[in-house]
Structure 1
Amino acid sequence: MNVLMLVQSPVAGDSRVLREAATLVEAGHEVRIVGRDVPDGFVAGPGVTVESVSRSRGMRPPGAPAGLAAATSGPQAAVRRTGRWLLLPEHRERTERHWRRAAAALLADRPAFDVVHAHDYNTLELGAELARRWSARLIYDSHELWFDRGLPGRPTPVSRRRGRRHEARLAAEAKVVLTVSEGIAQRLRGRRLADVRVVRNTFPLGDHDAPSLPDRPAGLAYAGRIGPGRDLEAVVGAAALLKPLRTVLAGPADPGYRFDPTGVEVMPPMSLSEVDKLYQELGVAVVTLTDTCENHRLALPNKLFHAVRAGVPVVAANLPELHSVVLHHGLGRLYQPGSASSLATAVQAVAADYAGYLEAVRKARPALAWEQDARVLADTYADLEAA
């Protein structure tokens, strides 16, 4: 089948979208991705075509410095921060709507696709519209519990309630709804969505054998977005308690996010293979989230599965979905979100029985690999084709 994927994330860095596209090509389908901020010359792989649509400018006027403003203190900066806090919800909605309009214009004269695969709520409205126009099958791929995320900016309880109802109405037009964890799947089924399937954010094992690691870890590593909601303050606090173990944070930093990096090493974004090596060099991966929203409580971050692919134990936030997977497979220990001392104690417990946790991760790798989730995705498309 000819498959159109819609996604507002920067495609080149969205491993879920690219893995799904590659899996569908391997199953015999052709895939075109319309995404955002695709670098010149980016190649997604054989059988996958990628096009890029920009979103509108940020809240900065032309020529303004990155972030809110150059100044970080004083009355003027406080006014800017307050204005940004008030306007952020409208800004997000405006930029996402701009992308949908630009993508619709790009696709206006295209031949019909057989399947429209809408990644996340911010592409769902356009995906449903295109599926109706082309008499195509619609798939809704919900990477998050969209209206239960913790977002910066003023609270918007009324628009969130309206958004959930609108999401349910549009998602009811989908033949299948995909999502990333059983907890989110249960919430979506509770909104009367009949066929909800779980395709986790796992990583392919391929020929990645479980590595031979030292008897004791050398440190702990966080690899992911450096920004609010990631409980990085607890990681920094634990670093001081865990000396001489190294603590490394690697990833892209949100503009305007400020934290005290004392006692930790901060590194730039890394490729997936570089993160593998970082995890294996230090020996423990931390999977951190704040306990501030339902989406976090039901999340299974891809860094959990990346650690499993790399063959290293984890210290993870004690949130319901993470709790279930980590303890079921014995992947490591849990810590109380927001508590540096709890995180440090969990790292020390992993280090004390390091060989046992390494063996548990080794045994769990086949069950927590993309090869399992790729089969769910391929079977979903096989069902569509048969129907």
Structure 2
Amino acid sequence: MRVLMIAQSPIAGDSRILREATALADAGHTIHIIGRDVPEGFEIGPKITVESVSRSSGLRAGGGGLAVGHGRRGPKVLAKRFGRWLLLPEHRLRTEKQWRLAAAPRVADAGPFDVVHAHDFNTLELAAEYAELWQAVLVYDSHELWFDRALPGRPTPLWRARGRQFEATLAAKARVVFTVSDGIAVRLRDRGLKDVRVIRNTFPKADFVPPPLERPEGLLYAGRVGAGRDLPTVVGAARQLAPFRTVLMGSVDPNYRLDLGPVEVVAERSIDQVDETLRSYGISLVTLTNTCENHRLALPNKLFHAVRAGVPVVAADLPELRAVVTSHNLGTLYTPGDPVSLTAAVRALIETYPVYTAGIREAADELNWEHDAATLVKAYSEL
């Protein structure tokens, strides 16, 4: 089939979209992706084409970045932050709508297609419109529990309630709905969606995993450095764990400020380099704040990256993470927001390290992309 994927995420860095497109192309389908911030000359593979639609960079606060200290203060700074907090929800919706308006002519010119695959809610309305126009099959891929995310800006309970209803109405038109965890799948089914299938954000199984360290050398957080990742708790625990090393590795949100303390920061690296770096430290941090239902039901990429690397985890004690970590014996859990709990979880993992290295290596037989890709390809074969 000819498949159109639509996404407002930066395609080159969205491993879920890249893996899904590659799996479907390997199964014989032809894929065209309309996304955002695609680098010039970027290619994914045979039978896959991609084009880019730019999006507004949005409101920005000055003076960001990783820093020691508490940031700038004063009436003008506080007024600016309050204005940003007040306006962010409208600006976010306007930015996403502008992207859809800019993408619509590209969608029309590229079509028709047999399948329109919407990645996340902010593309679903556009995808549903063209699927109906072309009499194509609509597929909805919910990477997050969209209207239950922790978002910056003022509270918007009415928008969330209306959004859940609108999402359910549009998604009911989809032949199949994909999502990333069992917990989110249950929520979507509770909202009336019938065929919801789980495709986790796993990684391809490694060709070779070297023997584990006898004793871990440090903690590594490999992922986006920004709000919602519970990184202040990591810093608090690092002070108690020193001289045991704590390292953050990844791209930094431009407006994010964090008192680093004893935490080291290294630059973002490729997937294979992350594997090697995780193995050199011996413990992977999988952290999230307990601030929204989406976090409580999330299974972050970094959990499955640790499985691929064969490295035990210290993970946030949130329902979906707890279920996977405990059922597969992947590591220990800590209470989000509690540095003492994180410190204790790290020390417990160090004391029983061989137990968890064995568990996470056994889990690689199930928690891998080959397993999840088969679910995707089977669903498409049924379309």
TM-score, scaled relative to structure 1: 0.95
In the alignment, which residue of structure 2 is the partner of 1:268?
267
The within-5 A match list for 1:16-35 is: 16-35=16-35
> Match for residue 10 of structure 2?
10
Aligned to 1:155, the other structure's residue is in SS state: coil
- Alignment of 1:55 onto 2:55: yes
Structure 2 residue 364 is the aligned partner of structure 1 residue 383: no
C-alpha distance 57-119 of structure 1, shift in aligned 2 (>3 A): same
- Amino acid corresponding to residue 89 of structure 1 in structure 2: P
- Structure 1, unmatched stretches of 5+, are none
Q: Secondary structure at the match of 2:177?
A: strand
What per-residue deviation string (whole Å, max 9, x for no partner) do you get for residues 234-261 of structure 1? 1111111112211110111112211101
**Structure 1 residues 375 and 65 mapped into 2: Cα distance closer, same or farther (>3 Å)?**
same
Conserved? CA contact 2:206–2:308, under 8 Å: no
**Partner residue, 2:117:** 117
Tell me the distance in 2 between the aligned counterparts of 1:100 and 1:375: 31
1:48 to partner: Cα distance = 1.1
Task: Give the secondary structure class of the aligned counterpart of 1:366.
Answer: coil
Give me the identity figure in percent. 61
Give how far 1:65 is off.
6.1
| Unaligned residue ranges in structure 2 (runs of 5+) | 66-70
Which deviations, in whole Å up to 9, do the C-alpha atoms of 1:16-62 show, x marking residues without a partner? 000000000110001111100011121112221110001124225xx
Which residue number in structure 2 is paired with residue 130 of structure 1? 130
Q: Does 1:362 align with 2:351?
A: no
Q: CA deviation at 1:206?
A: 4.8
In the alignment, the residues of structure 2 paired with residue 55 and residue 214 of structure 1 have an alpha-carbon distance, to the nearest angstrom, of 45
After superposition, the C-alpha distances for 1:99-120 in whole angstroms (9 at most, x for unaligned) are: 1111101122333101000000
1:139-218 paired onto structure 2 within 5 Å: 139-207=139-207, 209-218=208-217
1:223-280 superposed Cα distances (whole Å, 9 cap, x missing partner): 1111111000111111111122111101111122111011011122221112111110
Partner Cα separation in structure 2 for residue 16 and residue 130 of structure 1: 23
- Aligned residue type for 1:29: H
1:107 is paired with a residue whose SS is: helix
Q: Distance in 1 between matches of 2:72 and 2:283?
A: 35
The corresponding residue for 2:68 is none
Q: Equivalent residue of 1:178, what SS?
A: strand
**Which runs of 4 or more aligned residues in structure 1 lie more than 4 Å from their structure 2 counterparts after TM superposition?**
64-68
Give, in whole Å, the separation in 2 of the partners of 1:206 and 1:67: 37
Q: Give the secondary-structure state (helix, strand or coil) at the position aligned to 1:213.
A: coil
**2:218 matches 1:219:** yes
Q: Deviations over 1:167-215 (max 9, x none)?
A: 00000000000000000000000011010000000000152x2321221
1:340 maps onto 2:325 in alignment: no
Q: Secondary structure at the match of 2:109?
A: coil
Change beyond 3 A, Cα 1:152–1:79: same
**Partners of 2:4 and 2:116 within 8 A in 1:** yes
Cα distance in 2 for residues equivalent to 1:267 and 1:92: 30
Q: Residue in 2 aligned with 1:313?
A: 312
Match of 2:349 in 1: 350
Query: Relative to 1, partners in 2 of residues 1:255 and 1:29: Cα closer, same or farther, differing over 3 Å?
Result: same
Are 1:284 and 2:278 matched, yes or no? Answer: no
Q: How does 1:42-81 map to 2 (within 5 A)?
A: 42-59=42-59, 72-81=72-81
**Which SS does the other structure have where 2:232 is aligned?**
helix
What is the SS of the residue equivalent to 2:365? helix
1:67 CA displacement: 5.8
Secondary structure, aligned partner of 1:220 = strand
Q: Distance in 2 between matches of 1:162 and 1:17?
A: 27
Looking at structure 1, the residues matched to 109 and 202 of structure 2 have their Cα atoms a distance apart, in angstroms, of 36
Q: Which moved more, 1:364-373 or 1:263-272?
A: 263-272
| 1:324-347 deviation per Cα after TM superposition (whole angstroms, max 9, x unaligned) | 000000000000000111111111
Distance in 2 separating the partners of 1:349 and 1:189: 38
Root mean square deviation, CA, Å: 1.4
Counterpart contact for 2:34–2:107, Cα < 8 Å? no
For 1:38, the aligned partner's letter is V
Normalised by the length of structure 2, the TM-score is 0.96
Distance 2:219 2:293 in 1: 27
The one-letter code of the counterpart of 1:328 is S
- Separation in 2, partners of 1:67, 1:288: 22
